[in-house]
Structures are given as structure tokens and as C-alpha cells.
């Protein structure tokens, strides 16, 4: 199999789909690996490291896509990349198609086979290739929120750890999965007052045992939000429904009830966002203000920690990449397997049920 990793061109996307160490393993297994020149620089990997690993350097995206069979990316194809995809390509990347019907239609038109790292799922329900990026995004969410709470950034002027007692910033986190748990870890470690809202009883119990008295746990309800949002300094959206568009759990009216200069960090923005006033932003222009509330909705947050994120991403994805490279498309066509769950599009058809349902629910142009 010819496995190709292009340079990512999404705004401030510094991660790369294959590391030199992964290239070494893939070449040793009999595959050919192609890397677009400079693709690894944003994560600290030089072209020399790739050639030493046995990879072939390709001059540009057109050459790379023309050479490759299995395209190993990090983020969804950008407009200039869509025309480079062919029906015989296998695309292995984060796609988040349920939140983007337009991209779904354009990918369907290429007839490429598309696997989403965000929907790859093990038999126990875990999402092993999404989890490391979720954990990094959760940690970054608290850091980004703390920064944008400062007055020069348009925030309320609250120091999240404060000086203890009543001077601490108040953080409300919606969702107790990987994102929410990591966000709470960092916020509690900074000394903030942390309130975590989780709808599942069993998970709330696990989180309570883990955090003890450092984090306050709440059931998810309208009454809970009505109580917490008006005095929240930092709201972190960490809601996830695998493969589907994220439900909106905070309305415009609820955002309007928040303090002037409060900050919303909607980590769910890749899947559409869980706050009604959220829309995607970039690292180049990360925030906007609605009703006096600062919104940070960067759709590729982990790229800010590109070296850490790429290493974590490769550790999680390489076993599945090896399986896909060895078995080709047939490996993704086996139902109820991790790669089977990752399969979103094949031969111009949507094959993931949650993606199909979400796209069908969206109005067409």
C-alpha cells in the first residue's frame, strides 16, 4: 500500500498524519510511505528524519495525492484538496461530517472511501483515536478560557485561580467525558471553583470518586443551568454524541443570562457546537462577542500543542492504520469492527448511520 501524508493547510494546523517513527514501522511492514516536503515541520519533524525512516518526499499536494492510495491526514480536506481525491483513494482523517453537510456532499462526489478517526469505536464503546485529542482539547479549553478572561483579551478581568476563597473564578463544564474531565482537572489544579454537569448517574459517581471535594457534580437539567450560568466566569462545552451533530444544550437566552465578560469555550464546535451562539473560529481569529460574552470556538484546538498532539495521535492511530494498510478497503467493510465504525462514506454513499441521520436532518441548499 502507498500511504501518503500531506501538509495540513487548515488555518494554523501544525499536526501531521504520520511521524518518522510510524513511517519506519510501515516501511518495515512492506508498505511505501510518501510525505509532502515540510509536512512534519509544524510538529518538529524534519524531512531528513522522514527520508532516514525510508519515506519518499513529494514536492507538493498534487504529487502526493497523485502518488498515494491511503491518504493519512489530521483534519478534513480543505477546498483545494477536494479536487485531488479519487474514487480509489482511502481517506483516514478526522472529518466530523455530521456537522458539515456541504463537506459531506463534496466528499461523496469524489467517491473516495472516507474513514473518520472521530467515529472509530471499540467493542466496549470507547473512542480510542478521538480520546487523546479530546483530552488535549479539554486541557487547552481551561487554559484558553483563563487567558481570554483577562481584561486585555476582552474578558471580565478575572484571574481564574484568584487568591483563594471568594476571589476564585467559577468554571462550569458541560459533559463529563474525556474533554470535561481533563478541563476539570486543569481548572481544579489552578484553584478555580469547578462545577461539572453530567447527565449520566454512573459517570457522575465515577467523577465524584475521582475528584472528591475539588469538583462539584451536578445533574444536567434546565434548573441546573438556570442556577449555574448567571455567575459562571468560564463555560466549557464538552458534549459529545459520537458521529452525530452535538445537541444544543445552552440557548441564546441562557447565554444572555451570563455575566458581561464571561467566556464560552465550545470544544464541541467540530460537531456543530453545544451552545446556540457558537460558530467555528480559527487560531488566527479565535474569539467573538455575543451579548457581552466572549466566545472561543476554535475547531482545531489541539494543533496549538502540535508536538504533543501529533505524538499522542500517532500512538493511538497507528495500530488501526497498520490494519487498514494491510487489509485495504475490505478491512473497513467489516461491520461492528473499529474500522467499520470509522467508515463514513464509500462509493458515493453515506454508510455511517449517525452521519446519515444528521445530514438528512439538515436543510439542503
Helix/strand/coil for 84: coil
Lateral strand order in the sheet of 170-174: 215-218, 193-197, 170-174, 234-237, 263-266, 293-296, 287-290
Report the C-alpha gap between 154 and 335 in whole angstroms.
Answer: 49
Helix (H) or strand (E) holding 340: helix 338-342
Report the C-alpha gap between 134 and 302 in whole angstroms.
Answer: 8
Q: For residues 271 and 246, is the Cβ–Cβ distance under 8 A?
A: yes
Ordered DSSP codes for 177-232 = SHHHHHHHHHHHHHT-EEEEE-S-HHHHHHHHHHHTTSEEEE--SHHHHHHHGGG-
Q: What contacts 60, CB < 8 A, 6 or more positions away?
A: 36, 37
Helix (H) or strand (E) holding 28: helix 20-28
Q: For residues 38 and 6, is the Cβ–Cβ distance under 8 A?
A: no
- So which residues are the catalytic ones? 96, 270
Report the C-alpha gap between 88 and 318 in whole angstroms.
Answer: 22
Helix (H) or strand (E) holding 355: helix 353-360
C-alpha cell at 125: 464503546
Ordered DSSP codes for 105-162 = HHHHHHT-EEEETTT---TTS--TTTHHHHHHHHHHHHHHHHHHTSGGGTS----TTB
Amino acid at each position: 500500500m502507498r500511504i501518503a501524508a500531506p501538509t495540513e493547510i487548515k488555518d494554523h494546523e501544525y499536526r501531521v498524519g504520520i511521524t518518522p517513527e510510524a513511517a519506519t514501522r510501515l516501511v518495515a511492514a512492506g508498505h511505501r510511505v510518501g510525505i509532502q516536503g515540510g509536512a512534519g515541520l509544524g510538529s518538529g519533524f524534519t524531512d531528513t528524519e522522514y527520508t532516514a525512516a525510508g519515506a519518499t518526499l513529494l514536492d507538493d499536494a498534487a504529487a502526493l495525492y497523485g502518488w498515494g492510495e491511503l491518504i493519512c491526514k489530521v483534519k478534513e480536506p480543505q477546498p483545494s484538496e477536494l479536487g485531488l481525491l479519487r474514487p480509489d483513494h482511502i481517506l483516514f482523517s478526522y472529518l466530523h461530517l455530521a456537522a458539515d453537510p456541504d463537506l459531506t456532499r463534496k466528499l461523496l462526489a469524489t467517491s473516495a472511501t472516507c474513514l473518520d478517526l472521530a467515529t472509530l469505536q471499540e467493542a466496549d464503546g470507547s473512542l480510542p483515536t478521538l480520546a487523546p485529542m479530546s483530552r488535549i482539547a479539554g486541557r487547552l479549553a481551561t487554559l484558553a478560557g483563563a487567558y481570554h478572561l483577562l481584561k486585555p483579551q476582552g474578558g471580565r478581568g478575572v484571574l481564574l485561580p484568584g487568591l483563594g476563597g471568594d476571589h476564585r473564578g467559577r468554571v462550569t463544564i458541560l459533559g463529563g467525558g474525556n474533554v470535561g474531565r481533563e478541563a476539570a482537572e486543569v481548572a481544579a489544579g489552578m484553584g478555580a471553583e469547578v462545577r461539572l454537569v453530567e447527565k449520566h448517574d454512573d459517570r457522575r459517581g465515577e467523577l465524584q470518586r475521582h475528584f472528591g471535594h475539588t469538583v462539584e457534580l451536578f445533574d444536567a437539567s434546565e434548573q441546573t443551568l438556570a442556577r449555574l450560568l448567571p455567575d459562571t466566569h468560564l463555560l466549557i462545552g464538552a458534549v459529545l454524541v459520537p458521529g452525530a451533530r452535538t445537541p444544543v444544550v445552552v440557548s441564546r437566552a441562557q447565554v444572555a443570562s451570563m455575566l458581561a465578560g464571561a467566556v464560552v469555550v465550545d470544544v464541541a464546535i467540530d460537531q456543530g457546537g453545544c451552545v446556540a451562539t457558537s460558530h467555528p473560529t480559527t487560531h488566527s481569529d479565535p474569539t467573538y462577542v455575543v451579548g457581552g460574552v466572549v466566545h472561543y470556538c476554535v475547531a482545531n484546538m489541539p494543533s496549538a500543542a502540535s508536538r504533543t498532539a501529533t505524538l499522542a495521535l500517532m500512538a493511538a492511530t497507528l495500530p488501526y492504520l497498520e490494519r487498514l494498510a494491510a487489509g485495504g478497503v475490505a478491512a473497513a467493510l467489516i461491520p461492528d469492527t473499529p474500522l467499520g465504525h470509522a467508515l463514513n462514506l464509500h462509493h458515493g454513499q453515506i454508510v455511517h448511520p449517525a452521519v446519515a441521520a444528521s445530514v438528512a436532518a439538515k436543510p439542503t441548499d
